[in-house]
Structure 1
Amino acid sequence: MSALWKVIRHVDELRHYYIGVALCSILMAVTALASPFLLQGATDHVVRRLQGQPAPMSVVIWFAVAILVAELANALLSNIGGYLGDVMSMRMRAILSSRYYAKLLRLPQRYFDNNLSGAIIARLTRSITELSSFMQMLSNNFLPMIITLVAALAVTAFYYWPLAVLLIAVFPIYTWLTALTSERWQRYEKQKNEHVDLAGGMFAEVVAQMRVVKSFVAQRRELDRFDAEYDQTVALTRPQSRWWHRMDTLRRTALALIFFLINVVILWQTMTGRFSLGTMVLLVQLVGMAKGPVTGMSFLVDSTQRALAGSRDYFAVLDEADEPGASLQAVTPTSTLPPPVPGAPAVEFRDVSFGYDDEPNVLEEITFSVAPGERIALVGESGGGKSTIVNLLMGLFPPRQGTIHLFGEPHIEHGLDVLRREVGVVFQDASLFSGTIEDNIRYGAPWASDEQVRAVAKRANAAEFIERFPDGYETVIGERGLKLSGGQKQRIAVARAMLKDAPVLVLDEATSALDTRSERLVQQGLEALMVDRTSIIIAHRLSTIASVERIITIQQGRIDEIGTPAELAASGGIYAQLLALQESGSKQDRKRLQSYDILR
């Protein structure tokens, strides 16, 4: 239960709801206990009347009225407590979801590379739903029952302590049998959750890539993969459920025997004259109140087990280490970047080596610098480690060795948020969001005016096609911009980078997937974007790097050559080979050329 207390402490701002629910539960216990006492008095009064003793009829009516008032008060308190429990549960869900999301936003890129996005989402939905549903059930049902149970035990002990001892004996026996059940049940549940999360990950991935699935007629295969994960959960549920219900039968048998003894004691003591008929009715009702929570503990334990499993998954994510320097500080129009060190390069890699997780290095001793306003290109074979350079520059991964400097200072000296404000990126995949065109252009500068949005759209050669839409800049483009062509998406991405106005620009194969006309339009926008900006160009076609001042060639994770296009064209290295292959018309050379790109 310590994990659940951890959840309660984690959302301590709901403590006034906890107090309200607890007070309602206590008052509900008082009103619930009032009815047995009133019924005891009414029963004894009726017995006296039947025995010929003085007992006015009106007193019975007043007992009935008092029972009615107690029941109505109990109903009112139950609904007030239920309302507080419902609101508390939903607020808890909102808070837990927000903190989970905030944690994800602070996690390093490695976490997302190693986990299916759909599994991350499924874990959020499952764990938080189980936790909030458990708290709602506990506050609305079981907490009032437990408080009523404690009060019933106290009253029973007052009348006849052996009865209370028998009732109390139920709990250690039940707890011991439950402990025997719990460990194995939890193991099964953990395995089931892994399969459910994986199935959820597959589902989300297929929905996002439905065009690819249909194009390759892979619907049956994807459904079979999905079904296989749930088949595993069914296979695990069978032994889990057999174990649970076998142990539950044992628990209920033990409870039935104890309650049999309790009933025998009550009836026996009534027959011997120790209890009056009214006291017998009172004790029978109190035992019934105690029996309800005890027999309902199977459901409570089942819900508790699921909530415990959910809390462990939830806190496992929260316990992941944040990426160094991560924060959720909002960027504002007044946010300023640190001043550059006079005379320092805009970008500088000093003896940088890097490898993913425990794998060998993909970069070895990378050293180069880019002057402010300079344009460079990175060239090399696919898989040569070039995209990793951009990942390191963006602070998505820390280098294993060496340092990276931006404008003369270590590139995370002022935090990752400041670093990433200094670098603008246009990816090969435009990576747009659902929403309007205007929202996407404003993504890096949400405070920008309408005039600024339209100005950058015009410079990016996007204004013409945007204004042809009936809703113009308010056009909703769908998930990942699916309603736009590749060239249109890229021009919006260029406009977005223009509006961000970062001093360093990375063009990550920004035109490689476009047709010739779209490439020309996007390239014009990119040329406007690169003006007075330090630019690292990553392109699939050599024509897109014609304007660079220097080229850096990368081979097998190491820098091979650095020089101007003219120098490298005559050096006989990778760039010279690419030029020769491009000029060749042979099929074999064209195939060899496809194995090269500029930053992959």
Structure 2
Amino acid sequence: MTDSPRSGSHESETRSSEEGMLASLVAIVRFTSELRRYYLGVIVCALVTAGAGLATPFLIGHATDTIVDAVNSGSGVGVLPTLAMLALAILVMELVSTVMHNLGGYTGDVLSNRIRALLSTRYLDKLLRLPQDWFDSEMTGSIVSRLNRSITEVSNFMKSMSNTFFSMLLQTVAVLVISAIYYWPLAVLLAVVFPVYVWLTGLTSRKWQRLEADKNHHIDSAGGRFAEVVGQIRVVRSFVRERHELHTFTDHFERTHDTTREQSRHWHTMDVLRRGVLNVVFAAMYLLIFWRTLEGEFSVGQMVLLIQLITMARTPVEMMSWVLDTAQRAVAGSRDYFRVMREVEVPTPDGMPELPARPEDAPVLEFDDVRFGYGDGPDVLTDVTFDVRPGERVALVSESGGGKTTLVNLLLGLYPLRSGHIRIDGIDIAAMPHDELRRRVSIVFQDASLFSDTVGENIRYGLPDASQDEVALAARRANAGEFVERLDGGYDALIGERGLKLSGGQKQRISVARAMLKDASVLVLDEATSALDTRSERAVQEGLEELMAGRTSLVIAHRLSTIATVDRIVTLKEGHVDEIGTPAELAKTGGVYGELLALQRRGEDSYLNAYQTSR
């Protein structure tokens, strides 16, 4: 009878699942191979503990035969020294087992912490080298949840492997050999029960893996939403969405409830079958031992020895199920982790090309026929060509969504171009290592993007080795020194997550000071004052004027008043350059800049008329 296509597909799926699990386990072991000395320490402790445990049944069996012989011969007192020595030997074995077990536990704890550190640092290192578009489609909370789950499951698996697997293997082989020496059918039954038990556990794990993946999806989604809600708590409260967010969060865990019930029901049903087979086989072995003893083939001491060995063999069989359980949890928990680790990193050149000989007035910054689009989407920018001369201030103007911030992202090398070139100091940025490219650019974002650290450390982020005097000078030049000195702690004052203890204007002035301290050859102002009130804007603008003095600057601004003093304006329309000229020239052409300027003036006039009427 031939297999149906459905059954062939199922077998292929099964093989694929098993191969995937094995490949994942190999990846985990290789990934943590530098911790081999810790693994070796745990393994040695486990083997010594197992060896001491195996010696005890022999000592007890010998003591049993000694007592039985003494009772039968009536010479009980004469064997006391022998029994005392056997008791002392048992004590030594137990002490050795206790000490080595705890030494192994200590090494395992250190190993677990090292695994946590290794997984965490490598994960962050990988994230820092991934392309920007990867982050565009990921939730921050999901990234963190994925790391936490992977650390827990992988460290548990590696500890169980080193703590139990090798001692379990030693015990199993020893029991098989000893059983074969005393009575070969016992060894045959043991040799059969091991693979049968592992096979049944493998059958169980396939469905378990699928259900665990579904559960992890909901847990990661809940974790991602949780992080977003905490980060946007003011928005949640202002729109009275607390109950909605709680319901959404709870719903993800409610969905895991049914999955967990199905998963647990399947696992424990199969466990009844596995253990039932185990119980039958071991009952048969006990019966054989009892029968052989009754027939006089085994002494009472040998019977006790074999029963203890068989009982010891039962533990490894059952532990195999636990090892497989932790293994499949590690595979399920680390699958997304290793998916991230396999992501293609942003390619970066190894070395800096030689700086070409150029005239002093050659452009510092050049956009040459730049074309770009996100992913497989349509072009966002086409044929963008302009340059910025040394010390020149050039503003980018367009309607919202015109591509201004995209150009800044391309300048920083966050996305690859579809065609064209961007050059700094005559060097194509595609030929520059990313760290060298970004050292040459200082940027002040619309969002100040501060860290939950001190004021001084946030300013020093632009130049980590800067002295306190240099930090204070940058703050004063950015028009921030006065308010910083009034803070409790001054430059050592903690500003909270994302600078929540500071006002918008204060945060932006810290951001300006940070860019000022970096002192890069190219400055980018990405709508640096658009979110500020008039008074804060004035204070920040003074700092920006100081920052731009004598520096090649690219300015993006919604408020056209902030770019009135630039040397040239480049307007973008539908993703391409529409006009290039001075503010005065473009104000008369009726292009994008002229239209926006007229709209702004009409808005100001309407506000003034309404104000005068109200008076």
Q: For this structure pair, what is the TM-score category when the shorter chain's length is used for normalisation?
A: over 0.9
Answering whether residue 135 of structure 2 is matched by residue 112 of structure 1, we say yes
Q: For residue 337 of structure 1, report the CA deviation from its aligned partner.
A: 10
3-state SS of paired residue (2:532): coil
Kept after mapping to 2: 8 A contact 1:33/1:148: yes
3-state SS of paired residue (1:428): coil
1:532-551 matches, within 5 Å, as 532-551=550-569
Kept after mapping to 1: 8 A contact 2:193/2:278: yes
Question: How many Å separate the matches in 2 of 1:435 and 1:586?
Answer: 40
**Equivalent residue for 2:71?**
50
Kept after mapping to 1: 8 A contact 2:512/2:547: yes
Question: How many Å separate the matches in 2 of 1:124 and 1:525?
Answer: 41
Deviations 1:164-184 (Å, cap 9, x if unpaired)?
Answer: 111121121112212222222
Kept after mapping to 2: 8 A contact 1:326/1:417: no
Q: For residue 35 of structure 1, report the CA deviation from its aligned partner.
A: 0.7
Kept after mapping to 2: 8 A contact 1:552/1:562: yes
Question: How many Å separate the matches in 1 of 2:542 and 2:412?
Answer: 25
**Equivalent residue for 1:277?**
300
**Equivalent residue for 1:446?**
464
Q: 1:477 to 1:387 in 2, by over 3 A?
A: same
Question: How many Å separate the matches in 1 of 2:503 and 2:36?
Answer: 52
Range 306-315 or range 388-397, more displaced: 306-315
Question: How many Å separate the matches in 2 of 1:19 and 1:32?
Answer: 20
3-state SS of paired residue (1:535): strand
Structure 2 residue identity aligned to 1:194 = H
Answering whether residue 321 of structure 2 is matched by residue 303 of structure 1, we say no
Question: How many Å separate the matches in 1 of 2:545 and 2:366?
Answer: 23
1:190-589 matches, within 5 Å, as 190-325=213-348, 339=355, 341-343=357-359, 344-585=362-603
**Equivalent residue for 1:19?**
40
Q: For residue 138 of structure 1, report the CA deviation from its aligned partner.
A: 3.3
Kept after mapping to 2: 8 A contact 1:81/1:139: no
Range 117-126 or range 256-265, more displaced: 256-265
Answering whether residue 205 of structure 2 is matched by residue 182 of structure 1, we say yes
How many residues were matched structurally?
583
Range 190-199 or range 437-446, more displaced: 190-199
Identity %: 56
Range 234-243 or range 211-220, more displaced: 234-243
Deviations 1:227-265 (Å, cap 9, x if unpaired)?
Answer: 111112112222222222221111111111111111111
Q: 1:86 to 1:326 in 2, by over 3 A?
A: farther
**Equivalent residue for 2:8?**
none
Deviations 1:453-482 (Å, cap 9, x if unpaired)?
Answer: 111111000000000112110000011000
Question: How many Å separate the matches in 1 of 2:354 and 2:261?
Answer: 61
Q: For residue 57 of structure 1, report the CA deviation from its aligned partner.
A: 2.4
Question: How many Å separate the matches in 2 of 1:479 and 1:245?
Answer: 46
Question: How many Å separate the matches in 1 of 2:226 and 2:295?
Answer: 69
Question: How many Å separate the matches in 1 of 2:23 and 2:355?
Answer: 50
Q: For residue 197 of structure 1, report the CA deviation from its aligned partner.
A: 0.8
Q: For residue 139 of structure 1, report the CA deviation from its aligned partner.
A: 3.0
Kept after mapping to 1: 8 A contact 2:452/2:499: yes
Range 577-586 or range 495-504, more displaced: 577-586
Question: How many Å separate the matches in 1 of 2:356 and 2:510?
Answer: 30
Q: For residue 546 of structure 1, report the CA deviation from its aligned partner.
A: 0.8
3-state SS of paired residue (2:572): strand
Gaps of 5+ in 2: 1-21, 609-615
Range 237-246 or range 97-106, more displaced: 237-246
Question: How many Å separate the matches in 2 of 1:565 and 1:196?
Answer: 54
TM-score after normalising by structure 1 = 0.94
Range 45-54 or range 408-417, more displaced: 45-54
Q: For residue 341 of structure 1, report the CA deviation from its aligned partner.
A: 4.5
3-state SS of paired residue (1:567): helix
**Equivalent residue for 2:55?**
34
- RMSD over aligned CA atoms reads 1.9
Q: For residue 12 of structure 1, report the CA deviation from its aligned partner.
A: 2.1
Q: 1:276 to 1:326 in 2, by over 3 A?
A: farther
Question: How many Å separate the matches in 2 of 1:400 and 1:507?
Answer: 25
Question: How many Å separate the matches in 1 of 2:497 and 2:416?
Answer: 31
Q: For residue 339 of structure 1, report the CA deviation from its aligned partner.
A: 4.5
TM-score after normalising by structure 2 = 0.92
Q: For residue 326 of structure 1, report the CA deviation from its aligned partner.
A: 8.1
